Amino acid sequence: MLVVVFRSRIRSDADLSRIEEAGVRMYELASAMPGFVSYKEFKAEDGEMLSLVEFRSEPELAAWRNHPEHLEIQRIGRERVFERYDIAICEPIRRYSFDVERGRTERHP
């Protein structure tokens, strides 16, 4: 399992409606890719965005990174959307879960 931590800030002059359209399309593509597990997005009060994406393996994540439509959106993002971004690819060392029915459990990545 790999976790992509994508932190970003949007330019003040970026077209927010086009960003949302592109985001919907990227989710459609990514979620159909082999190995896709999940995607969540959060926005902090200071405007920073955080996206968490999970893929089962590095080759499956690389296939997503190199998807032609995703490559084009990456280029557009650098040219017109992002003020800055930082991406970290992480591999969990340990995983813990809790739910009311099962209690606390440790899972191996």
Q: What percent of the chain has pLDDT over 90?
A: 83
Q: Which of 42, 39, 18 is nearest to 27 (CA)?
A: 39
pLDDT in tens, 47-85: 999 999 999 999 999 999 999 999 999 999 999 999 999
Helix (H) or strand (E) holding 64: helix 58-65
Rounded to two decimals, what is the model's pTM? 0.87
Q: In this predicted structure, what is the pLDDT of residue 109?
A: 64
**Domain that residue 37 falls in:** 2-107
> 12: domain CATH number?
3.30.70.100
Return the minimum-mean-pLDDT range out of 13-27, 32-46, 51-65. Answer: 13-27
- How many domains does the chain divide into? 1
